[in-house]
A and B are shown apart, each in its own frame.
Chain A
């Protein structure tokens, strides 16, 4: 029964990881930019949700789309004004540039919000579902807030999928991802598409932050942890696919959960990074990797 609970824990955690990683994967896949800012975007989304809840009483799940909208604006602006200028440069340059931006944003948040850890306490709390009561003999509990956050995150990822598949903008993004030169010839302006993509990536991060605000403590210091999870999730699942993010996140969550049981909690992180290196070596495209981000 322990293992069933651990599996459930892992899947729920994995859902949250997918939620954190979706925007990161999109930006990496389409722009070929490793966005170190991503973790800070998630934290900013969480802060916005925190203040919306404590000051205005807006539920973080309702606030998630608003956080997404705000972060979209910020992301679009950052890409248009800064990142677009170095987008043609090698990996290191774009990565270091976003690292510099992350230093800046983290420091701004540190000064503005202080580093004290905060968290949203939903009143009333969402509680837990005791599966044992529904299915006799199956003694497993499921925390409702994690489940709800995961489902909402899936909703956002599904929306992203539809956006990419069904709209002109989405098709333009996919086109740029597949062949930038050809897309330019077809009349697509990559500069705008890049900014849109970066904005959507930031929006997903903002929504994720809002959804996670009742679950994880909020602080600028959490940014690097989120970024690390996004990294591993993307590599495990494969870049450039919505399903890859989901599979990667779930795989990572389950791996960490069982790793903590068999190797001890102190080695969960080591395990996930080791698996990441193994994946890079033997299956660099990840489990579901393909071009085009759909």
Chain B
């Protein structure tokens, strides 16, 4: 049999076109290096890896709108005031294709290759946590626009500052309201997506509920990409809850709301997070959106007077509508807020020196259209109360905090 054995040398030589391949590889490398030349300018450069394609692209595009609006407003005013001289803002975007490893890779590219001065984190808690190692290693002050899970901030990093308050700040007020305004509500059913942020949020609701003496009659997790929730909802219906809490992303919420109606799973209070904050949810569920409650970090119904580039929540909303012909949602707003807070820190520091800006960020005390922003020792915002709202007659109506509420909790859903 030995004669059948192929010889390796022969195999290697059996490719007469190796040189051509090498040439091709070199040509590709050359092209790639050629596209690599970057222009020098005195603008403040901010790196922003975004999920512009793939599973998270809806959110990625929203964040980008938020960044762009802030950049336009700042640059229209001549730029950021750095110790007396105005410097324009430039945002370097990269698409990380909703893949966390790529986000980390791009954060590194922004740090070393593009030499950005500051960074905005990628979308969501998981990617923010993964990419935060890069900004920490290079000592780049980084604003995290969409990371709410406390686990993101537990690594003792000095450069990460998140605009979202902890998940529990969403569950606590909602549970308070239910306790106060719906005294008959006793039994809670929770259905959470088995994924970093939605699961943590579901667990916060469980904690908040138990703390106030509610009974948790169902706690279910569903897998990412679940196409059918009928079994879980049938069980929930059987458990006869007064309050149904569902967490996940917008597609999950649309499907769950539809199947709740299909199966007649009803409750006095239905809470879904975060989808109802998006107009798409109301469009896609139609009348079924009615009376669904939700909590979110920001809502256009708020009215903060601010000392930032926008002046007030109302003015922000107006500028956003002029530019994008739609109402801003919390993802748009946190994008703009990330820019605003960085700008205010630079102006306060009077310098773009990273250490000084980091200090200014840590000191906090920023009055923004998004709310007052200060960060705890870990770097997460703790300084404002996220509003609770309810869809009433096709519109999101704030029902908490009392200072800005435009309506009261309505019970029952279709």
CB–CB A107/B230 < 8 A? no
CB–CB B226/A269 < 8 A? yes
**A266 CB to nearest chain B CB (Å):** 4
Q: Please, how many angstroms separate the alpha-carbon atoms of A13 and B232 in the complex?
A: 14
CB–CB B280/A265 < 8 A? no
Interface string of B282-295 (1 = CB under 8 A from A): 01111100000000
**A126 CB to nearest chain B CB (Å):** 10
Which residue of A is nearest B252, CB measured? Answer: A217
Q: Determine the chain B residues whose CB is within 8 A of the CB of A146 once the complex forms.
A: 262
CB–CB B53/A266 < 8 A? no
Q: Please, how many angstroms separate the alpha-carbon atoms of A256 and B234 in the complex?
A: 13
Q: Determine the chain B residues whose CB is within 8 A of the CB of A267 once the complex forms.
A: 223
Q: Please, how many angstroms separate the alpha-carbon atoms of A265 and B227 in the complex?
A: 11
- Known contacts A12-B230, A253-B228, A261-B231; can you find 8 more A-B pairs with CB under 8 A? A114-B58, A117-B250, A117-B251, A121-B284, A121-B286, A125-B261, A264-B221, A268-B226
Q: Determine the chain B residues whose CB is within 8 A of the CB of A257 once the complex forms.
A: 228, 230-231
Which residue of A is nearest B57, CB measured? Answer: A115
CB–CB B226/A2 < 8 A? no
CB–CB A9/B234 < 8 A? yes
**B61 CB to nearest chain A CB (Å):** 7
CB–CB B284/A217 < 8 A? yes
Most buried by A among B222, B261, B262: B262
Residues 22-41 of B contacting A (Cβ, < 8 Å): none
Which residue of A is nearest B62, CB measured? Answer: A116
**B301 CB to nearest chain A CB (Å):** 22
Interface string of B199-235 (1 = CB under 8 A from A): 0000000000000000000001111011111111011
Residues 165-204 of A contacting B (Cβ, < 8 Å): none
**A104 CB to nearest chain B CB (Å):** 13
Residues 331-351 of B contacting A (Cβ, < 8 Å): none
CB–CB A117/B231 < 8 A? no
CB–CB B221/A13 < 8 A? no
CB–CB B254/A119 < 8 A? yes
Q: Determine the chain A residues whose CB is within 8 A of the CB of B255 once the complex forms.
A: 216-217
Which residue of A is nearest B199, CB measured? Answer: A266
User: Which of A89-97, A219-227, A233-241 interfaces with chain B?
Assistant: A219-227
Q: Please, how many angstroms separate the alpha-carbon atoms of A267 and B223 in the complex?
A: 7
Q: Determine the chain A residues whose CB is within 8 A of the CB of B77 once the complex forms.
A: none
Q: Please, how many angstroms separate the alpha-carbon atoms of A162 and B58 in the complex?
A: 43
Q: Name the 4 nearest CB pairs between A and B, nearest first.
A: A260-B231, A143-B262, A121-B286, A9-B230
A229 at the B interface (CB under 8 A):
yes
A141 at the B interface (CB under 8 A):
yes
Q: Determine the chain B residues whose CB is within 8 A of the CB of A10 once the complex forms.
A: 230
A291 at the B interface (CB under 8 A):
no
**A163 CB to nearest chain B CB (Å):** 29
CB–CB B227/A229 < 8 A? yes
Q: Determine the chain A residues whose CB is within 8 A of the CB of B232 once the complex forms.
A: 260, 265
Q: Please, how many angstroms separate the alpha-carbon atoms of A116 and B65 in the complex?
A: 15
CB < 8 Å: which of B221, B227, B263, B280 contacts A118?
A: B280
Residues 237-290 of B contacting A (Cβ, < 8 Å): 238, 250-251, 254-255, 258, 261-264, 280, 283-287
CB–CB A221/B223 < 8 A? no
A-contacting residues of B (Cβ < 8 Å)? 53-55, 57-58, 61, 191, 194, 220-223, 225-232, 234-235, 238, 250-251, 254-255, 258, 261-264, 280, 283-287
**B332 CB to nearest chain A CB (Å):** 13
CB–CB B223/A215 < 8 A? no
Tell me the dominant secondary structure on chain B's binding face: helix
Q: Determine the chain A residues whose CB is within 8 A of the CB of B235 once the complex forms.
A: 2, 261
Given contacts A221-B251, A222-B251, contact A13 B263 (CB under 8 A): no
Q: Please, how many angstroms separate the alpha-carbon atoms of A145 and B255 in the complex?
A: 14
A66 at the B interface (CB under 8 A):
no
Q: Determine the chain B residues whose CB is within 8 A of the CB of A222 once the complex forms.
A: 251
CB < 8 Å: which of A114, A215, A219, A258 contacts B258?
A: A215
CB–CB A117/B280 < 8 A? yes
Which residue of A is nearest B233, CB measured? Answer: A9
Interface string of A240-271 (1 = CB under 8 A from B): 00000000000001001111110011111110
Q: Please, how many angstroms separate the alpha-carbon atoms of A216 and B222 in the complex?
A: 16
Q: Please, how many angstroms separate the alpha-carbon atoms of A268 and B194 in the complex?
A: 12
Q: Please, how many angstroms separate the alpha-carbon atoms of A107 and B220 in the complex?
A: 34
A278 at the B interface (CB under 8 A):
no
Jot down 29 A-B pairs with beta carbons below 8 A, ordered by A: A2-B235, A2-B238, A5-B263, A9-B230, A9-B263, A10-B230, A12-B230, A13-B228, A13-B230, A114-B58, A116-B58, A117-B250, A117-B284, A121-B286, A123-B286, A128-B261, A146-B262, A217-B251, A221-B54, A222-B251, A256-B231, A257-B228, A264-B221, A265-B191, A265-B222, A265-B226, A265-B232, A266-B220, A266-B223
Q: Please, how many angstroms separate the alpha-carbon atoms of A216 and B253 in the complex?
A: 11
CB–CB A268/B284 < 8 A? no
Q: Determine the chain A residues whose CB is within 8 A of the CB of B221 once the complex forms.
A: 264-266
Q: Determine the chain A residues whose CB is within 8 A of the CB of B261 once the complex forms.
A: 125, 128
Q: Determine the chain A residues whose CB is within 8 A of the CB of B284 once the complex forms.
A: 117-119, 121, 217
Q: Please, how many angstroms separate the alpha-carbon atoms of A224 and B101 in the complex?
A: 21
**A61 CB to nearest chain B CB (Å):** 17
CB < 8 Å: which of A121, A264, A265, A269 contacts B225?
A: A269
CB–CB A217/B254 < 8 A? yes
Q: Determine the chain A residues whose CB is within 8 A of the CB of B254 once the complex forms.
A: 117, 119, 217
Q: Please, how many angstroms separate the alpha-carbon atoms of A286 and B389 in the complex?
A: 51
Q: Determine the chain A residues whose CB is within 8 A of the CB of B262 once the complex forms.
A: 128, 141, 143, 145-146
Q: Determine the chain A residues whose CB is within 8 A of the CB of B230 once the complex forms.
A: 6, 9-10, 12-13, 257
Q: Determine the chain B residues whose CB is within 8 A of the CB of A260 once the complex forms.
A: 231-232
Q: Please, how many angstroms separate the alpha-carbon atoms of A116 and B280 in the complex?
A: 7
CB–CB A225/B225 < 8 A? yes
Q: Determine the chain B residues whose CB is within 8 A of the CB of A110 once the complex forms.
A: 53, 57
Most buried by B among A121, A222, A270: A121
Most buried by B among A115, A141, A253, A258: A115
